[in-house]
Structure 1
Amino acid sequence: MKRILKRYEEIIRQVVNFNKFTVVFSPNTREDDREKVCAQLGVREINTPGNYLGIPMIIGRRKASTFRFLLEKVEQKLQAWGSRVILKAKKVMLLKTAAQTIPNFWMSLFLIPREIIDMIDKKMNAFWWGSNGGTGGIRWMAWERLCEVKEEGVLGSKKLHEFNIAMLAKQAWRIINNVNPLVTQLLKARYHPTIDFLNALPVANQSYVWRSILETQEVVRQGCRRRIGDGKDTRVSQVPWLPDKYNGYLTSAAYPELEHMTVNGLISMDGREWDSDIITELCNERDVSLIYQVPIPMRIRSDSWFWIHEEKGVFFCKIENFLRRVARAQETKKKHHTNSTVQQKTWSKPPEGWIKINIDVACYTGRDNIGVGCVVRDDRGVFQRARSNQIGGLRKPREAEALSMREALSWVKGRRASKYIFETDSKLLVDAFHAIEGRSMFDTIVEDCRELAKHYEDVLVKFVPRSTNSVAHEVARAAYSNSGLREWYNTAPDFIICNLLWMSINRSKYALLQKKSTITDPTYS
């Protein structure tokens, strides 16, 4: 022990003060051994270590008594407020922003006993309905009912036990994604050296922190999904990797071939598509449909985890997710208000030297594939080429839009032009293309789009209203009537000629109106 401490001093270049050191022994340690250790280290023995940074150093079997201080903290706060006359609106604010936040720090590390949680709930319910410190009044409704969502006409306060699970699940998410490598390595070496967290089992003499995190295993298992990269690190039958919110595991019969197979065994030799022969032979109809929904990235990357219940694929506690959505909604509303007066209503030609590509997707209910289409026009607004194709597998709308953009970027790659403007009517796709990388399957496709865009001198991705993107939508719809891939060069297909002419007429009218408004506007006189 002395050698370890000496090495520690050499590394951090600080001296350990043994006068402040104390040691706690197990009840099984003999008295003479205790005396020898204290004499060798020059430290003193204590019976109870107490708290460190507000956290109990040792948590015994009587956990309710260990965490009783949380109840006392909340009770003291409520009693201080109860001596005054407080309006109901202010009571709501005090309960949500002060009383319910007291246990947050400890909830992120420990599973608070239900006994303590129930007693805190009773104290807050008494404060809400009562007066004189919560001693009077009739409890017209249970606290659990008051914690339902606001849309049902109640307070919308958070349920402490569920929030406790969410906070611990966030720690589990950090362990799964190796956010803190040192802590992850220590926990894995101690508690699950040969398996991952989702399959870890309780072990003897585990700490209460680990036992608390392990309580969230089922919750995390329901939301965690494997994002497929090269597929080499994901077992086909032992890891949740299918995009199903309720069950991410394979439900096919347990063939011996699937037991140790990794997902890369289901991908074709060129690594660009799923091997339909192997998949249809080993998997049932449900699994086949879900597998085809998993996008295969164009560039090699390792497998990773994402949270299927969030658009960005990153785990958030309920309150964090709520605040994030509110902020995003406010930002979107502000942008819409700012741009509503100048929003483009008709298709416009790109600047000189640029090529404009409109992309869109067509999805039909009951079909197991999607249609993608793109239309290319030059800086004079003249049609150059178009492409229509089918992509197998059911897709969410945002993933389908991202696939249409990836198809277009791949198609025009290597052409003589180097400046492209891509227009789409998917705001989600445009925002994701310019945002920080996420973890979801949608972000896998968007990352491919970013990589493809690096091969061009200039690439702009813009959002346009659906009315100005109708030509691309017609081309995407045509994929269902074509037997396969279809391309048109120089001459536009018959089914979009009328649309192109109509856009050209509207564009001319729009330019004329703009010119007239500029002449008659007194600000220009």
Structure 2
Amino acid sequence: MLKAVLSASPTHAMSCFELPMSLCKRIQSALTRFWWDGNDNKRNMCWTSWSKLSKPKKLGGLGFRDIHLFNKALLAKQSWRVLTKPDCLLSRVLRGKYCHKASFLTVKATTACSHGWRGILHGRDILAPNVGKAIGDGNSTKVWKESWIKGDSLFCPIGPAKEDELDLYVSDLLARGTNEWNRQKVYDLLPSYVNMILCMRPSHLGAEDKYVWPLNTSGTYSTNRVFLWKIVQDALPLGMALQRRGILTHPVTCARCGEPESADHLFLHCRFTKRVWSNLPTRPIDLQPTATFATSLEAAPTLVCLPPTGVSVHVFAWEAQPAKPNGASNIRRYSGHTSTETTTLYTDAAWRAQDRTAGCGWIFYTPRPGEARQGVSKESFVASPLMAEALAVGEALLHAKALHLSNICLKSDNQVLIKALNSKQHPVEIYGINLDIENLSSSFSSITFSYVPRSLNLAADALAKSALYLLPG
């Protein structure tokens, strides 16, 4: 009741207005009294403070919402929408009324502005210290006034800057025509940040810069992540849960194997699910009959990703994309007119951490027997294995375009990259590369991106390693 009903009741108001602290305390008091008081109309003692109850469960609390903090988070979400979707109706109305002389990130509240606008500016002030820019063409990002350099997070370079350089844009550091870094300018202007900047990859095809929230891998500001929590709390409408609550009178079984439908069965023990888990590039998780989803989730941070896949995210975060046990998962299709011949394109990359160098390899297989083409490249200033894999895909598609191929089925053994290409939620470090890949994709009559296990990608893997260790440069 506290989480699903009482806390949710003021959510709409909290997403639009900054509630006075006194009102937040009154709402919180009502929640506290509901928790501690019984049905005898007597006020009982509060044995634990609300601040402890509102802590996450892993910190010893019960995970209730702190009303004041939740109000701030919701206002920040509205501000994020105004910032990142300037063409939406809300953003156009508010910017048109209040942002005549300054940008949304710098405009000040006036004495005559509405209470709703004050709330959005309050959310803006929470966002501002952590908002950064992912570099596309660099035309809208100021070198000295915005956070754009990629280190552990995004940050703004520290000066002092010369007076005539204060209004430089990142595009002024790029070579005209190629959008590669002008290394001499970078060395002259920002010598302390040279390695970090050169490891960033702007868009070569003119993608726009984008505001990002670097505290989230996808770069998008979000206030919730509830699916895993629902599984652990048995809060999904599955057969056994519905029967236990008296909603169903007969048992519901798994559609694939006929066993009773529970969260532990669907996400761990079903034979179909086990095949999916077995394809992950990690050491095996515990799939014994006594294992529960909750215990597996707790053990997930200790799973070691097997090299050299470049996977660096929490393995249970992949639940949003349906996977197929044969490895052909996360497929996205671009299509115009179609022809009968489809070329299968395998790509891979090998990355060396010591000098941040990568080798890229790709192979084309056409339906004609015995016909195959391949290519390799070597790249310097590559920040991560994920970036190396993205560069391999981009180079392979450029080669495919030069060969005038029409229908492409691209396969990679990097599931993070394939998910990014299929979801349009690009990780910050490969933002420019992925948008170039999307741009190139429109050059083909049809194209699909799919994941394959490394065991099915050995030829491209061998090419990538040979490029890394044998090519000069």
Tell me if both proteins adopt one fold, taking TM over 0.5 as the criterion: yes
* 1:392 lines up with 2:366 in the alignment: no
Change (3 A) 1:417 1:204: closer
Question: 1:247, CA displacement in angstroms?
Answer: 4.6
* 1:240 lines up with 2:223 in the alignment: no
* 1:291 lines up with 2:197 in the alignment: yes
Q: Secondary structure of the equivalent of 2:391?
A: helix
* 1:308 lines up with 2:214 in the alignment: yes
Aligned partners of 1:406 and 1:445 also within 8 Å: yes
Amino acid at match of 2:145: Q
Give the aligned partner of residue 343 of structure 1: 326
For 1:21-170, what aligned pairs fall within 5 Å after superposition?
Answer: 94-132=1-39, 135-170=42-77
* 1:406 lines up with 2:394 in the alignment: yes
Q: Which runs of 5+ in 1 are unaligned?
A: 1-93, 346-351, 486-525
Whole-angstrom CA distance in 2 between matches of 1:149 and 1:355: 50
For the pair shown, the structure with the greater C-alpha radius of gyration is: 1
For 1:163-178, what aligned pairs fall within 5 Å after superposition?
Answer: 163-178=70-85
* C-alpha distance after superposition, 1:433-477 (max 9, x if no partner): 334566955454333223323333443322111222233233333
For 1:344-359, what aligned pairs fall within 5 Å after superposition?
Answer: 354-359=342-347
Give the aligned partner of residue 465 of structure 2: 477
Whole-angstrom CA distance in 2 between matches of 1:314 and 1:332: 27
Question: 1:297, CA displacement in angstroms?
Answer: 1.8
Aligned partners of 1:231 and 1:264 also within 8 Å: yes
Whole-angstrom CA distance in 2 between matches of 1:481 and 1:439: 28
Question: 1:409, CA displacement in angstroms?
Answer: 0.8
Question: 1:124, CA displacement in angstroms?
Answer: 1.9
Matching residue within 178, 182, 193 for 1:271: 178
Aligned partners of 1:268 and 1:274 also within 8 Å: yes
Question: 1:265, CA displacement in angstroms?
Answer: 0.3
Question: 1:203, CA displacement in angstroms?
Answer: 3.4
Q: Secondary structure of the equivalent of 2:139?
A: coil
Give TM-score scaled by structure 1 length.
0.63
Question: 1:101, CA displacement in angstroms?
Answer: 1.2
> Which stretch has the larger CA shift, 144-153 or 168-177?
144-153
Question: 1:308, CA displacement in angstroms?
Answer: 2.6
Aligned partners of 1:371 and 1:480 also within 8 Å: yes
Aligned partners of 2:376 and 2:467 also within 8 Å: no
Aligned partners of 2:207 and 2:432 also within 8 Å: no
Question: How many equivalent pairs are there?
Answer: 381
Higher helix share: 1
Whole-angstrom CA distance in 1 between matches of 2:47 and 2:181: 59
* 1:282 lines up with 2:218 in the alignment: no
* 1:425 lines up with 2:413 in the alignment: yes
* C-alpha distance after superposition, 1:254-273 (max 9, x if no partner): 23343011111011112331
* 1:193 lines up with 2:119 in the alignment: no
Question: 1:277, CA displacement in angstroms?
Answer: 0.8
Question: 1:418, CA displacement in angstroms?
Answer: 4.0
Q: Secondary structure of the equivalent of 2:349?
A: strand
Q: Which runs of 5+ in 2 are unaligned?
A: 237-262, 277-323, 329-339
* 1:468 lines up with 2:456 in the alignment: yes
Change (3 A) 1:181 1:471: closer
* C-alpha distance after superposition, 1:218-241 (max 9, x if no partner): 421234222333322221111222
| Aligned-pair Cα RMSD in Å | 3.5
Whole-angstrom CA distance in 1 between matches of 2:87 and 2:405: 46
Give TM-score scaled by structure 2 length.
0.69
Change (3 A) 1:360 1:252: farther
Aligned partners of 1:146 and 1:154 also within 8 Å: yes
Whole-angstrom CA distance in 2 between matches of 1:322 and 1:423: 31
> Which stretch has the larger CA shift, 243-252 or 405-414?
243-252
* 1:454 lines up with 2:442 in the alignment: yes
Q: Secondary structure of the equivalent of 1:217?
A: helix
Q: Secondary structure of the equivalent of 2:447?
A: strand
